[in-house]
C-alpha cells in the first residue's frame, strides 16, 4: 500500500516500483488522501476555463487513468485538498480541509483500508512530507497513526479485524547524488542541464539521500512511470524537467527508486534492494495482531 496526499503524487513518487511489483504478481493499492481540488494548473495546454470549472472531476479522471496505467488498485480517502498557502504572512488554511481535520477522523478512514487490504508493506512520506505542503505533512501523521491503530484491537474496533503491517517505508526522491549524476551525464553529452538551480539549493535543505536504506531497481518500468505522470495532464507539463533526462540515460546511471526503512516486524538488514526483503512469502496472510 502506498499512501499519498494528492492525485499525481503516486506517479511522481515510487511509480516505477509499484509497476514492477504489480508485474511480479503483488497486489498494490494506492490511497489518495485528498481530491487535489486546490492544485494549480501546471500544464499551460490545460489552462482553459472548462478545466478550471471542473477541476475536481478532471483530477479524478486523471487519477483513474494513472491507476490503470500502473495496474494498481486505487482508493480515495475522501478529504478536501488544503492548498499550498503562499504569501507573507501566509493565509489560513480553508475550513474543513484535510490538514485541519482532527487526526482521528482520517486515521480511522485509513485504518479501515489497511484492515481491509491487509498490506505487508506500507510506503508513505517522512515527517517533512517530502516537502512542506500541509497535506503531505498530514499524510505522514495520519499514516503513522493508522499503522499503530490498525494493529491494535482496542482502537477503532468497528473498523475491521486488526492487522499488523510488516514493514514501513518513507519514499525519498531527488537525492543530491542522483541529481549530480544526471547533471554530470547531461553535461557530458554537451547538452544544457536542467538541474543547475537544484544543485545551487542543495545547501539550503537536507539531502534525502542521507536517509536512504533501500534502492529498488525498476528502470524497466520508467516508461510506465512517465505514462502515468502524463495522465495527470493538469499537473504535469510534458515539456517540463520531469522528462528532460532520456530514459536510456536514467536506466544507465540511476535505475532505482529510493526508500527509507523506518519499521520492520521481520528480520532484515540494510542496505536493501527489495521492499519485501525479510518477508518470506508475501502471498501468505500477514501476522494478525491481538
Residue 9 assigned to a binding site = yes
In contact, 163 and 289? CB cutoff 8 Å: yes
Residue 140 assigned to a binding site = no
* Rounded Cα–Cα distance for residues 18 and 223 (Å): 13
- Three-state SS for 4? strand
* Rounded Cα–Cα distance for residues 20 and 279 (Å): 17
* Rounded Cα–Cα distance for residues 59 and 51 (Å): 10
Exposure b/e, 8-39, CB count within 10 A at least 16 = b:
bbbbbbbbbbbbbbbeeebebbbbbbbbbbbb
* Rounded Cα–Cα distance for residues 143 and 137 (Å): 10
Spatial neighbors of 95 by CB under 8 A, at least 6 apart, are none
Residue 6 assigned to a binding site = yes
Bond preceding residue 46 cis, omega within 30 of 0 = no
Exposure b/e, 72-87, CB count within 10 A at least 16 = b:
bebbebebbbbbbeee
- Grid cell of 62 as nine digits: 486523471
In contact, 188 and 219? CB cutoff 8 Å: no
Residues that constitute the known binding site: 6, 9, 136
Residues that constitute the known binding site for Zn(2+): 6, 9, 136
Amino acid at each position: 500500500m502506498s499512501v499519498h496526499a494528492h492525485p499525481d503524487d503516486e506517479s511522481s513518487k515510487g511509480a516505477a516500483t509499484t509497476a514492477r511489483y504489480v508485474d511480479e504478481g503483488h497486489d498494490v493499492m494506492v490511497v489518495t488522501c485528498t481530491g487535489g481540488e486546490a492544485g494549480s494548473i501546471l500544464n499551460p495546454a490545460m489552462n482553459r476555463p472548462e478545466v478550471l470549472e471542473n477541476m475536481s472531476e478532471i483530477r479524478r479522471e486523471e487519477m483513474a487513468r494513472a491507476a490503470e496505467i500502473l495496474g494498481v488498485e486505487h482508493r480515495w480517502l475522501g478529504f478536501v485538498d488544503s492548498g499550498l498557502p503562499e504569501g507573507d504572512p501566509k493565509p489560513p488554511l480553508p475550513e474543513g480541509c484535510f490538514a485541519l481535520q482532527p487526526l482521528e477522523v482520517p486515521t480511522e478512514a485509513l485504518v479501515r483500508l489497511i484492515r481491509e487490504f491487509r498490506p505487508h508493506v506500507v510506503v508513505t512520506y517522512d515527517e517533512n512530507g517530502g516537502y512542506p505542503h500541509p497535506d503531505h505533512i498530514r499524510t505522514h501523521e495520519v499514516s503513522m497513526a493508522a499503522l499503530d491503530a490498525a494493529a491494535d484491537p482496542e482502537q477503532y474496533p468497528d473498523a475491521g479485524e486488526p492487522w499488523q503491517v510488516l514493514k514501513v517505508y518513507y519514499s525519498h526522491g531527488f537525492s543530491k547524488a542522483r541529481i549530480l549524476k544526471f547533471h554530470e551525464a547531461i553535461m557530458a553529452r554537451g547538452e544544457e542541464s536542467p538541474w543547475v538551480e537544484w544543485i545551487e539549493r542543495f545547501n539550503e535543505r537536507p539531502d534525502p539521500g542521507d536517509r536512504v536504506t533501500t534502492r529498488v531497481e525498476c528502470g524497466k518500468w520508467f516508461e510506465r512511470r512517465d505514462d502515468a505522470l502524463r495522465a495527470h495532464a493538469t499537473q504535469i507539463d510534458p515539456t517540463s524537467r520531469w522528462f528532460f533526462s532520456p530514459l536510456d540515460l536514467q536506466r544507465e546511471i540511476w535505475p532505482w527508486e529510493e526508500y527509507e526503512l523506518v519499521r520492520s516486524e521481520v528480520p532484515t538488514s540494510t542496505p536493501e534492494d527489495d521492499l519485501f526483503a525479510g518477508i518470506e512469502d508475501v502471498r501468505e496472510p500477514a501476522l494478525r495482531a491481538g
